[in-house]
Amino acid sequence: MSEIKPSDLSPTEDSGEVRDLADFDNLCLSIPSQPKPRYAVTVAVSSRALFNMVDDRKIYEEEGVEKYVAHQVEHENEPLKPGAAFLFVQALMNVNSRLRELYPDSKELFDIVLMTNNHAQVGVRLINSINHYDLTIERFCMTGGNSPIGYLKAYMTNLYLSKDAEKVTEAIEEGIAAATMFMPEMETELSDTQLRVAFDGDAVLFSDESEIIMKEHGLDTFFEHEKEFENKPLAQGPLKCFLEALGKLQRKFYAKNERLSCPIRTFLVTSRSAASSGARVLKTLRSWGLEIDEALFLAGAPKGPLLQKIKPHIFFDDQMFHIEGAKELGTISAHVPYGIGQKYHKGKLIEQPVKKE
């Protein structure tokens, strides 16, 4: 047996150890830099919103958590199918690619966080599914059955999307923009070069103060009120801050003379009529220093057919009546459970359960 010299144990320039470290450094350089939370627009999305887990959820509800976890482990190499928020998340990542082209070192990007109450054992299937679709999601929060809502502020969340209406309501009560996701009832081909986001106005971008007057006192009183207070800005609603975050990223494209080819486009789709109550809405946006690319006043007409033309990656509304009409015609919809509209359906007051003493 030949003698081993001390020099044989020392790494040299040609040793495998140095080559491995060099390869590791090159790998790190090839991975896109992650956005910093204090600069990023952070979108937290639940696993059931990102992926279609209807069958998996059925196992959980009918057979319990242990069978559910065992099923996920057994099928961890089978990618989950896309869910309601999937195309929206893909569109966010396409915007990130454009931002990196213009600002290679910028940390002002969309940052996606998978925020789920799943157990860590399910994480492998989620990671495999994310890698299968080439999604850049590096931050996970898996709470093992506990509500993830308490972590949203720690992640500096700008928007939370979930399939769980109770958790969404809890997030809104915490002051976080949030919505419950709904799959459309038919597929629609969406833009792969431009993120399109559509917002309702009252109780979404704005508070429900004007909607309260309309519900409680009628349309004529509402019109009179909006005319009287035309120059008084509406109070902000639960998603105003998300529109603000989108505007911040839009301005980065405008600064590079990319306004006409900006990969973010925003829409206001409101039941208000332009002549009778539209001025206050536009003046409110102006007072906030925010722009909306297209403002569409429908004067009570159904929103579904118009949204079918816009083809947004997500449409936010506070009333399930409009959500139902939108998803029937192929629009990915997100319900914002906020304001007086939750007490009404199709314009009629929903009977509230009587609390027992």
pLDDT at 42 (0 to 100): 96
Amino acid letter at 222? F
In degrees to the nearest 10, what's the CA dihedral of 43, 167, 328, 301?
Answer: -90
Tell me the residue range of the domain where 299 lies: 195-347
Q: Over range 51-55, report the average pLDDT.
A: 91
pTM score of the predicted model: 0.85
Q: Report the distance separating Cα 299 and Cα 293, nearest Å.
A: 19
59 has a pLDDT exceeding 60: yes
Domain contains 129: yes
If asked whether residues 130 and 205 sit together in one domain, one would say no
The burial of 133, by beta-carbon neighbours within 10 Å (0-12 exposed, 13-18 middle, 19 or more buried), is given as middle
Statement to judge: residues 61 and 148 lie in one domain: yes
To the nearest 10°, report the CA torsion of 163, 164, 167, 173: 70
- pLDDT range class, residue 169, cuts 50, 70, 90: very high
55 belongs to a structural domain? yes
Q: 334-343: per-residue pLDDT in tens? A: 999 998 767 6
* For residue 62, pLDDT beyond 60: yes
Same-domain pairing of 176 and 213: no
CATH number of the domain encompassing residue 76:
3.40.50
Alpha helices in the chain (DSSP H): 6-9, 16-30, 47-50, 54-63, 65-74, 86-102, 123-132, 165-173, 209-217, 219-228, 240-254, 274-288, 304-310, 320-328
Q: Which of 23-32, 117-126, 226-235, 309-318 ranks highest by mean pLDDT?
A: 309-318
Average pLDDT over residues 176-182: 97
Q: Which residues make Cβ contacts (< 8 Å) with residue 204, sequence separation at least 6?
A: 237, 238, 239, 316, 317, 318, 336, 338
Is 150 a member of any domain?
yes
**Which are the catalytic amino acids?**
200
Per-residue pLDDT at 4: 41
Task: Convert the pLDDT of each residue in 3-46 to its tens digit.
Answer: 444 444 344 334 444 445 444 344 334 445 566 667 899 999 99
- Same domain, residue pair 276 and 221: yes
CATH of the domain at 301: 3.40.50.1000
Confidence of residue 351 (pLDDT cuts 50, 70, 90): low
Q: Do 200 and 69 fall within a single domain?
A: no
10 belongs to a structural domain? no
Residue 90 lies in a domain: yes
If one counts the domains in the chain, the total is 2
Q: What single-letter DSSP state applies at residue 206?
A: B
Q: Within a domain: residue 96?
A: yes
Q: Give the C-alpha separation, 135 to 45, whole Å.
A: 13
CA dihedral 155→161→166→172, nearest 10 degrees, is 60
Asked if residue 29 is part of any domain, the answer here is no
Average pLDDT over residues 281-301: 95
Residue 223 domain-assigned (yes or no): yes
Whether residues 174 and 70 share a domain: the answer is yes
> Does residue 245 share a domain with residue 176?
no
* Single residue among 126, 151, 182 that ends a domain in this structure: 182
Does one domain contain both 55 and 174?
A: yes
